[in-house]
Copies of this chain bind each other. A is one copy, B any other.
Amino acid sequence: MKGRIHNFNAGPAAHPLPVLEKIQAEFLNFKGSGMSVIEVSHRSKRFDEVIQDATARVRRLLKLDENFHVLFLQGGASLQFSMIPMNLLPAGQSADYVNTGTWATKAIKECMIQRKPVKVVASSEDKGFSYIPKEISFSPDAAYAHITSNNTIKGTQWASFPDTGGIPLVCDMSSDIMSRPFDVAPFGLIYAGAQKNLGPAGATLVVIRDDMLERVPQNLPTMLKYPTYVEYNSMFNTPPCFAVYAIQLVLRWLEETVGGLDRMEQINREKANLLYRTIDRSEFYRGTAEKESRSMMNVTFRLPTDELERQFVQEAFEHSLSGLKGHRSVGGCRASIYNATSLEAVQALTDFMKEFAGKNG
């Protein structure tokens, strides 16, 4: 579309164009209400349909049975780092955490700030978080086992989820939720900031298993207690209506245009393979994650020198390929290729990469 560029931002990130066009088209008059979607009451039938539909789509896409609750919160994954131990780690118990990078480290830190016992049962810090640990011994009495399914900064991803021997998995899926199908049964809680695969920043999806609610202490602040969101269908107070509305449209696109998570995974795999092949077949680019831990969402790579990396990001931008700079904490290059980034965009990127390597290699 005229004036639009290929967006490889790590989050906030690309949205499906038809979703953006729909938001734009009805922005002054939402469903014939005579109001913008940001002006309708969250207690109105029109908004209730939005949040109900978003919830139903999450349930279908993740194949959730009645044991799971779908909640919309605010505060991003960062607030979940605190809410999880607050709600799910009762006094006298400890939680297992696997440290696979920046975000997992922050999750562990928030647990420690509350002076809750944390056991880091595995870590890939020894090799700069470039891999996902294998053969982890989880504690048989842990309250839960926390993992980060995809690591945006280091470009690693769990290819399959670990067997915890029945300990409920708690998982930060901010950057790969809805990118592939998976079995939800072992998960006690899944959380995801919206701004990568779900929609705009400002909403957090939480999927919580019913039995997790039983352990939540009674005296938590109302807004920091999962049961509040269960009891009030995420509307104890005014939810982030616009973000929930955009999420609903993204989920509709995922179900009705893409065709669900099996198909989404195929497309994501095709996109990632194309990029990794381009990296692996060149002497010029070097992937930073170990091959079997590579992320399908965030492809991290280096060029021969920092100077060439700067030049690469700049020239790519001039070719309408945006957001390729690595996270400020690690440098290098990163292409985030979430659900909404098209195969066409990845092809444009790999074409450019070959051209750039040819000229500068």
Contact = CB atoms under 8 A, between A and B. Distances in A.
14 contacts: A4-B35, A7-B39, A9-B41, A11-B238, A12-B38, A12-B40, A21-B28, A33-B322, A34-B322, A74-B240, A78-B222, A82-B223, A193-B237, A202-B239
A110 B222 contact: yes
Most chain B CB neighbours (cut-off 10 Å) among A13, A32, A38, A223 = A38
A67 interface: no
B9 A40 contact: yes
A200 B24 contact: no
Contact of A115 (B79, B219, B246, B323): B219
Interface of A: 1, 3-5, 7, 9-15, 17, 20-21, 23-24, 27-29, 32-36, 38-43, 74-79, 81-82, 86, 109-110, 113-115, 193, 195, 199-203, 219-224, 236-243, 246, 320, 322-323, 328
A200 B110 CA distance: 30
Contacts of A114: 219, 221
Given A5-B35, A27-B23, A237 B78 contact: yes
A82 B224 contact: yes
B322 A35 contact: yes
Given A82-B224, A201-B241, A241-B202, A14 B39 contact: yes
B113 A221 contact: yes
A43 to B, nearest CB: 7
A323 B33 CA distance: 11
B20 A27 contact: yes
Nearest to A5: B34
Q: Name the 4 nearest CB pairs between A and B, nearest first.
A: A5-B34, A202-B240, A82-B221, A74-B74
A36 to B, nearest CB: 5
A129 B304 CA distance: 70
Given A28-B24, A113-B222, A238 B201 contact: yes
Nearest to A41: B9
A128 B15 CA distance: 48
Nearest to A195: B238
Nearest to A74: B74
A4 B27 contact: no
